[in-house]
Structure 1
Amino acid sequence: MVKKIWVGLLTLLAPFWAHAALPAAVDGQPLPSLAPVLEEVTPSVVNVYTRTRVRVRSPLMDDPFFRRFFNIPDVPRERVSQSLGSGVIVDAGNGYVLTNNHVIQGADDIAVTLQDGRSLDATLVGADPDTDLAVIQVPAENLTALPLADSEQLKVGDFVVAVGNPFGLGQTVTSGIVSALGRAGLRGLEFQNFIQTDASINPGNSGGALVNLRGELVGINSAIFTPSGGNVGIGFAIPSGMARYVLEQLVEHGEVRRGSLGLVVQDLTPDLALAFGLEAGQGVLVAEVMPGSAAETAGLQAGDVIASVAKRPVRSAQSFLNAEGQVPVGERVPLTFLREGGERKATLVIEPPQVLLGEDIDARLAGARFMALPARARAQGQSGVVISGLAEGSRLAYEGLREGDIINAVNRGRVDDLDDLASGVTQARGALLLQIRRNGRAYVARID
């Protein structure tokens, strides 16, 4: 009886649904659709596949007696790790593809699949872990590039479309709006100015495109906030303005060469702003001026409030760092600051970071490159020098040190800068005891 009633209802409602179906046009005008835009965009978005060979170590297999007893040859065992992501063709003539650094990091083989089904081998041009961006290159054969928009023109509420390869399903399109701008606070990245969107972004979308309704690239999808591992409507994309600068640097140098103005700054909190007679968010407070830096030469002082860098207003320590990090080394930078209630201007030159080679100090440190700690780390109360480069097979690498480790002390002598490191090592008698900080934890390494 129930079945007959449902059949009757469906029969009665069928003409109504047929009548209520969406029309192809309203008042002679076709219904809005993203299809025309996506026809131009999707050929520029590629799927990125990587393979990484990882050596598998076993205490038994590393024992020569065990291998001889069971007649096991001394052949390294490996396992292959695979991952997937997305990328965006930004230069069809040269075959340059923008993607995320975490998509290709450590990969031995990189391949991309285009929308038309072609699979192409890719080579790494360069990567920038500080922004989580990388550039790979494929053969420039019948490619379509996506134009980069001016992300500075984005506004909250603008419609955007995300294109990528979520979960390896293949090219997928989702839509949403710009939920917020200038987001920061993600761990592990030095430069952060994220676009927040509610367009669905999932694992595999990393490196894909975020485009506006004109079909222009406004961001590179990079991360999501999720308590469960899936999309909850909070995704983050690296703005095209930052991506453009990183792209140019990686293509030209194979790395992003950044310098410094020599300023350590902090946010201008409401309490500090009140003390200085300013409004909160009006700039950033200079906490320290590095000796011998361009800022010291220009006469800046602790207590000054920086209002703009390179004609870009700065309202937080992160925005100051972003502005400083997008100016090439050697370029002159106009800077506006406030002192004693008056506005002042200065022009500074971005100076290259101080670098010290290990072999110039002690033969035991050969293969290592040391740099002064970034201003952001100093503003957070850290001290020491950072290992910015480490050759495979070097003494420090053999003892377990890694690139990115911070050296706080040598033989119990405090290390604040490169001069402290050099003097501590040269004055040492016998073994070197290096106090290391890594991921918030302290270690001691002995170097004989």
Structure 2
Amino acid sequence: MQLLPVIALFVAFVIPQAGLFAQSPPDFTDAANKATPAVVHIKAKVQPDQKQIKQYNKDFGVPGPFKHFFDDDFRDQYRGQRQPKQSSGSGVLMTSNGYIITNNHVVENANDIKVITHDDRQFQASIAGSDKLTDLALLKIEADGMPTMNPGNSGGALVNTEGKLVGINTAIATPTGTYSGYAFAIPVNIVKKVMKDLRQFGKVKRGYLGVSISDLNGKLAEKFDVERTSGVVVRNVQQNSAAKEAGLKEDDVIIRVDKRKVDNTSELQEAIGLKSPGEDVAITYIRKGGKRTTTATLKAKEEMTQAKEKQSAILEELGMELKELTAKEKEKFGVRYGIQVIELFQGPLKRQTNMKEGFIIMSVDGEPIDSIRDFTAMLSRKQGGILMEGRYPGSRGTYYYGFGM
């Protein structure tokens, strides 16, 4: 199975299923009349990089005795790289002042973009922003009073029978390598989010929950005591993430985001993907058969990375590597909370204590510890002497280790 880029955002129609055979076939004329004026043709040209051209000239300035190693096919290949590359596709006018949505692969790296409207007017376009993840790009032409597409609700095709935009086609899955098979489209609610961010910031700002997930099935539903077979299982919770701070844990089953029901991973990803960093979302989930709700403040990916780097710096200074305990490990070790020392390096702990690898840190200066984030945040605020309390697996005794920062 291959994925081929769609080079034209053609007008496709969604037919409501209700009464499909009881009524006469729908008339697409009105929808086409509404949609066609907002669809534009795009021609993009990518000029070769000057460094590549210089390299070409250098490569073929080789001494005569070696030129026979470079046959005509090899030379033609390099000559082709020196020629401008052209691509074409379609786009959709989204605003009356000339903002256009198209596929990123149509205009990526282009330095000359022309837009031709349905009435044969031609405009020079610039890239206002692009997003590789959704394969969307936002173009801008200097124009006013342009016909705009009326966005409908979420959907998979481009236009419904009312002439409303419900999606942007982006690729075709084909078993033959030809342009036939299953088409993929980006729902319009995601398109609107991407377009809004590209206009405002020049890039898409995504909020991240910070979980690894999988679909709930019958076997997992029985394991987690869930009386349903739809939902999203939390497989792992990332450190410094919104999910971690909201109290989500491994094996929780997410069933709703705000007022939106989520039955599978793609629905959860779309629900979160429409949000921005800093937004609060209500997460409804099932844990041990009981339904709960928590509020998560979504984070930017960079924010989680920076926090992780700060944590790593503190652990490196101490000379230790830690891991968080799963619910099963806590039950096995007979603790309600704690984090485990995996490895000790040169640092204050090794110099000032006889702590061994495997030690479970349960508290620092009397305050319970249940995550690496809690541990590093607490140490970053402290100076002078610090006392750790905990135990070793298989031992019922409590151990104390004091050291100075």
Fold shared by both chains (TM-score > 0.5): yes
Match of 1:286 among 204, 229, 234: 234
Task: Give the match's secondary structure for 1:217.
Answer: coil
Other-structure match for 1:44: 38
Other-structure match for 1:349: 297
Q: Which has the larger radius of gyration?
A: 2
Q: How does 1:23-422 map to 2 (within 5 A)?
A: 33-55=27-49, 56=52, 61-63=57-59, 66=62, 78-92=82-96, 94-151=97-154, 195=156, 210-232=158-180, 234-278=182-226, 281-354=229-302
> Shift of the alpha carbon at 1:327?
0.5
Moved more, 83-92 or 295-304: 295-304
Paired amino acid for 2:276: P
> Do the aligned partners of 2:284 and 2:291 also contact (CA within 8 Å) in 1?
yes
> Shift of the alpha carbon at 1:64?
9.1
Gaps of 5+ in 1: 1-29, 70-76, 155-194, 198-209, 362-448
> Shift of the alpha carbon at 1:338?
0.4
Q: 1:343 to 1:226 in 2, by over 3 A?
A: same
Task: Give the match's secondary structure for 2:222.
Answer: helix
> Do the aligned partners of 1:124 and 1:135 also contact (CA within 8 Å) in 2?
yes
Task: Give the match's secondary structure for 1:106.
Answer: coil
Other-structure match for 1:364: none
> Shift of the alpha carbon at 1:62?
2.3
Q: 1:109 to 1:342 in 2, by over 3 A?
A: same
Q: 1:285 to 1:78 in 2, by over 3 A?
A: same
Task: Give the match's secondary structure for 1:122.
Answer: strand
Q: 1:284 to 1:230 in 2, by over 3 A?
A: same
Paired amino acid for 2:103: N
| Partners of 1:65 and 1:52 in 2: CA distance | 26
Q: 1:59 to 1:126 in 2, by over 3 A?
A: closer
Q: 1:137 to 1:60 in 2, by over 3 A?
A: closer
> Do the aligned partners of 1:266 and 1:284 also contact (CA within 8 Å) in 2?
yes
> Any idea what the Cα deviations from partners look like across 1:282-341, whole Å, max 9, x if unmatched?
211111122232222222211111111232222222322222121011111111000111
> Do the aligned partners of 1:270 and 1:279 also contact (CA within 8 Å) in 2?
no
| Partners of 2:258 and 2:132 in 1: CA distance | 24
Q: 1:303 to 1:139 in 2, by over 3 A?
A: same
Other-structure match for 2:366: none
Paired amino acid for 1:90: M
Task: Give the match's secondary structure for 2:277.
Answer: coil
Figure out how many residues of one structure are paired with residues of the other and give that number. Answer: 270
| Partners of 1:255 and 1:281 in 2: CA distance | 37
| Partners of 1:83 and 1:115 in 2: CA distance | 19
Q: 1:268 to 1:118 in 2, by over 3 A?
A: same
> Shift of the alpha carbon at 1:279?
5.3
Q: 1:80 to 1:336 in 2, by over 3 A?
A: same
Moved more, 37-46 or 263-272: 263-272
> Do the aligned partners of 1:61 and 1:67 also contact (CA within 8 Å) in 2?
no
| Partners of 2:90 and 2:167 in 1: CA distance | 13
> Do the aligned partners of 2:234 and 2:250 also contact (CA within 8 Å) in 1?
yes
Q: 1:31 to 1:294 in 2, by over 3 A?
A: closer
| Partners of 1:323 and 1:60 in 2: CA distance | 49
| Partners of 1:109 and 1:301 in 2: CA distance | 50
Q: CA RMSD in A?
A: 3.2
Structure with bigger strand share is 1
* TM-score where L is the length of structure 2: 0.60
Other-structure match for 1:161: none
Moved more, 235-244 or 50-59: 50-59
Q: 1:67 to 1:254 in 2, by over 3 A?
A: farther
> Do the aligned partners of 1:60 and 1:66 also contact (CA within 8 Å) in 2?
no
Gaps of 5+ in 2: 1-23, 66-80, 311-405
* TM-score where L is the length of structure 1: 0.55
